[in-house]
Amino acid sequence: MAAMTGKSEPDGATSWILEAPFRPEGPFGWVARLPAELHSLTDGNEEPSRSRLQLFEGEAALGPAHGVHETIRNVGGGRYSFWYGAVYFATSDNSDPNSNGRTYTARLPADPERKTWPLPAPFRRAGTAGWIAELPPELHDLTDSNEHPHRCRLRLLEEGQRLGPAHTVHDTIQKAGRGGYSVWGNVVYFSASDNSDPNINGGRYSALLEPAKDVHALAASTAGARPVWTRPDKTIRCAVVGVGNRGLWLGGLAQGMAGVEVAWLIDHSPSRLADAMKLFGKDVRGATRMDDMLTDPGIDAVIVTVPDDQHRHVAEAAFRAGKHVFLEKPLATTAIDAKAILAAWQQSGRILQLGYAYRQAPFYAAIRALVRQDVLGPIRIAASASNWNCATAAPTCGAGMPSRSGRAASWCTRVAMTSISYAGCWLLDARPRTVTSFGGLDTFVGPPPAPFCSQCPRHRDCSHVDTALNERRSAAEGADPTAFGLDRCVYRDDKDIIDNQVVSFELDNGTRGTFYLAMQGPRRGERRVTLIGDRARLDGLFEDGQISVTFTDIEQSPIDLTTKESSQEGHGGGDIVTMHEFLNACAGRAPAPVTDVDDAIRGLVFAFAAEQARLDGTLVKLTGADFALPSST
């Protein structure tokens, strides 16, 4: 269901007409999705009664507001709750809002009257044209400072008319004047509109506190909260295929939700399988092959966490068996395999969830919300970076992981794609059009002191020693990793994985951008995002959950947003949200998380193009055919 654009009313309020069909919720309750600009104004777990939105039936106000959802469903009587981007409501007489002929409107009352403070003379001279006025103590915490040079929302009025610009450089105020001012520390540095003496020109000067801009309200709401799970009507039974680190983590998330059961574990290693089965209880079944699991009619969903090059085999089989599929990133290691998986998904009619968990992380979700609300204006430049420290990078370059990129997909496809596709495709909702790239293996080269870390005399002092960071090894593998081709020295020469790369690109919306990967980083790895638009520049640091927005209009105070508190473990909080989305869709009470081929594949196409450009030294130009399934499928 859709919502109309907000309409201003004579009293300063804004209203949105909610369009049918409304989704039923219990005997008397109904649900309507709200337009994106209202999502920051709804209630949530942290502030369950903050929303000022009102619901009207025709011209009559419904209520009470902030109703308990159970009461709305079972009692009705006009109660409603604006909650996390939707409104849960009942009609005044518990009739069906889809057929009762009435109009339902969400209304935001006008902001309270702005508050002003008079600034009495005498004013103290500052330079040729400048003057200084003392501020009342209650305003001292609202002024600019060295740490926050553009935060102040106080505005200076002369005879009720705004002066400006605000945040003017003090030297300019003193020498040029012409109404420029700066509210700084405990005072306001200002000049009269005609550079006259404000002590004798008869003008009345006052400070006005503007309400926070909508973008600030939006920013404050995008940090998000840990999702709340409720038991589904029918138990969801899952299988996990591949019980390494990732499989056990995702399976554990699913098992921890009420009404969800992990019933099967599949892994080719009997010893690793036996260890995993101990963690999921006596009722879980295990096997080294999928056959019996796929024919089990009680299995609803399959969580696929096998090595990258095996994704197609497992996912296609699961879709053919009529199962929903959670598929860990990347979708596949080749375009052919990726499109085959997507074709099988479309033919099955089942739910597909891709493990691009950073999309649901509060950090990236907040950035996307700011972009979609057009806070930054048209985005001209997008830049992202992944700077990994050597201790983390070494296993990926060959100490623990497969060293031939054809086995596990290129580094760009496996990991760097996250930053490339988020800063380009997903955050900006665009396709890559042209891609070029340079990169290579320059740090982890040279003669290895020993073939395997456990055989090396220097392993106790080596910062690149294999720690099995990306694996869950069985007891046998842990006892003798060399027998399984693990524990390899990062300097071995049988690898074709790079340790640094630069990608430049242009998107089909005109945005140009760069991405760089470096495995030569400091102690802590970092992911950074910068977006530069016509209205503002955004800078974000994922590990700290920090996002800052600085506006071109100097009178617009910057946004400083943190998502740290809402960023739970597991891809910055994205894993739990991704699993909730998937299982709620499996239960039939939420939309499918992946709905079209283009969204599913364009980040992967981006990564493939970057790798092709690096290997061939070419400029890769992409067309619509690169993002579409073959017509034969």
* Residues 130-166 pLDDT 10s: 999 999 888 888 888 887 777 788 899 998 888 988 8
Mean pLDDT of the residues in the chain? 84
CA distance 460 to 479: 17
pTM value?
Answer: 0.68
Take residue 398 and report the two structure tokens written for it: 């060959």
Q: Give SS3 for 219.
A: helix
Q: Which of 408, 633, 412, 370 is nearest to 518 (CA)?
A: 412
- DSSP secondary structure code for residue 248 in this structure: H
Q: Which of 536, 545, 445, 539 is nearest to 495 (CA)?
A: 445
pLDDT, tens only, 523-578 = 677 889 999 999 999 999 988 889 999 998 877 778 888 877 555 566 667 788 88
- DSSP secondary structure code for residue 144 in this structure: B
**Who's near 69: CB < 8 A, 6+ residues apart?**
25, 29, 81, 83, 88
pLDDT, tens only, 16-68 = 899 889 999 888 999 998 887 788 788 877 677 778 899 999 989 998 898 88
Residue 486's φ and ψ, nearest 5 degrees, are: -100, -175
Q: Give SS3 for 392.
A: helix
Instruction: Taking the CA atoms of 428, 432, 434 and 438 in sequence, report the sign of the dihedral they define.
Output: positive
pLDDT, tens only, 274-299 = 989 998 988 899 999 999 999 999 99
β-bridge mates for residue 539, sequence order: 530, 548
Do residues 430 and 508 lie in contact, with contact meaning Cβ atoms separated by under 8 Å? yes
